[in-house]
Each structure stands twice: as C-alpha cells, then as structure tokens.
Amino acid sequence: MSLENYTRAGQIASKVRENTRKRNHIGRTLYEICNSIEKEIIDNGGHPAFPVNVSINEIAAHYTAEPDDQIVIKDTDVVKIDLGVHIDGYVADTAVTISYDPKYDQLIKVAELSLSEAIKIAKNNTKSSEIGKIIENTISHNGLKPIQNLSGHSLDQYIIHAGKSIPNIRTYGSSFSLSSNQAYAIEPFVTTSDGLGIVYEGKIRNIFSLVSRKPTKDKGADEFIMYLWNQFKTLPFALRWLVSDFAESNARTILDFLIKKKNVRAYPILVEGNNKVVSQAEHTIFIFENKSYIITK
C-alpha cells in the first residue's frame, strides 16, 4: 500500500534530516556531506529519491556535489539541505536550513514557522491558494520575503513533481484543492527584506533526470539510456552516482548528447535575484480521508 511505503520513507527521511541538523558541517566538503547523507539513507533501508541538495547562501536550490567536490562549508554559510527517500518509488521529501551565525536565526525560524502554519490548514479539499496565502502572510508579517517562483508540489510513484504546485505566495484565480490519498511536499523559501523574492537559473547544472527512452540511433547512448532507466527510472540523479560504472569524461559526453536529444533533462541551480541569502523548510504530508499526516515529522 502506498501509505505504508510513504510512511516508511518518511521515517527514514525524518531520522536522517534530524541527524543532519545536529551535525557540525563546518570544514566538511559538499562531496562528503552529500555522500554521507545518501549512505545513511541506504543504511536505514531506503533509497535516495534524488541527489542530496546542498545549496549555500543565495543558491536557493538544485546544487548537489560534483564528483570529488571540494567546496567547504564555512561558519558564515547558510546551508539548505534537501533530501528525499523512496521506498518502491514512493517519495518522502524534506529539507532543513543550517547556519552557525546567529544573525540568520530569524530567517531559518520563519521558514519553519510558515511551514508549520501551512500544514495546520492542509487537509482534504483545502485550496492550494489558501496554503500560499498563509505562507506569504507568515513570512511578510515577520519582515521577510517569500520566494515567489518556488513552490511545493504533489508527489506520485517515481515522480517527485507530479504536476500540481503549492505556491508560497497568495495567488488569484483558479487553484486546485488537496485530495485524499495523495502526497504533497510543502516547502517555503524565505529571503531577506532586500531580496528580490524571485530566483533565476544559474549556469551550473549537475542534477539530471531521464525524460524519454526514445532511441537516439547511437548504440552507446541507447545503452546508457537503458542503464539510467534500470538504475533511476524517472527520478533525478547526479553525475557522481555514475562514475563507479563510467569514466567521468565519458559520462559527461553522453549526458550532453542526451540533453541535446531531449532524452535527459538538466536542472540548473536556482539563485536569488538580488543574491541575498535564502532559507528553506520542507515536509511531506499525506492526505488520508480528512486528516493530513506529516510523514517526515
């Protein structure tokens, strides 16, 4: 049953997130952080649903470690760690923001508070626009800004973004309602009052997913497509996950080819428009009858 798999994935994700929250990451490389979190997920009986995102300061999302990434966490950094666990493709998605500088405590606290307030009203038939309104009101009442063009999302088996978005701002016009027997990730992103409140795509793209298995007429590329499907299905993956089976240069070349052929999608990092610091908080909820369960609590 999907609820059982979601629940198990959520228990693992919650445990790993809280261990990550407590750990001192100063001086650790991003490669070390991503690998250790993913190993902990596997050691607890789960599978990483996507490469662990370690997005620092003005990078809001979608940075994962390159193979042997030597970027080091400093004591002035604000670090968003977004992790996902799947059991048989059923995904629990959660995130925590970590900082060792007290001046960012409010930024982190407000992300967590807006998430908590949103979850209080999330149940069967709640309109997504109402969730966005609660998130924006909570953030703005605390003198900060929500990121307008990032949102939560519905989840489905082997699909992290399953077509429905939960906004982090009030929206007007039609909006969908949450429905029973469905999982949703709610994830407010918060920036400072002088931030733009919008993210833009950066140049770095180091997270990928397979979007089509259409043959390319290139034997090596087609074999690579089957490898990706067998390993990850439609879930995102990182280049560093491939280097045990392929030479890094060869994997990069084939990925570039498959991106051009539109078999593979590359996800750019997302950067705050005024290069201001961003915080994030995230839980996955499962709506069952008229109750919502925080599976990553």
| Catalytic (active-site) positions | 82, 93, 153, 161, 187, 282
Determine the residue type at 225.
Answer: I
For the chain, how far is it from start to end, CA to CA, in angstroms?
20
**Tokens standing for residue 98:** 């970590």
By the 10 Å C-beta count (0-12 exposed, 13-18 middle, 19+ buried), 202 is classed as middle
- Give CA–CA dist 170/168, Å, rounded: 7
Strand intervals (E) in the chain: 47-48, 53-56, 59-61, 78-87, 90-99, 145-146, 151-155, 165-167, 182-186, 189-191, 199-210, 237-238, 264-272, 278-280, 283-288, 291-294
**Tokens standing for residue 113:** 């508070």
Determine the residue type at 217.
Answer: K
Pairing of strands 151-155, 182-186: antiparallel
φ and ψ at 121, to 5 degrees? -100, -5
Strand intervals (E) in 16-150: 47-48, 53-56, 59-61, 78-87, 90-99, 145-146
Q: Is 289 helix (H, G, I), strand (E, B) or coil?
A: coil
- Give CA–CA dist 294/286, Å, rounded: 7
Contact 266, 208 (CB under 8 A): yes
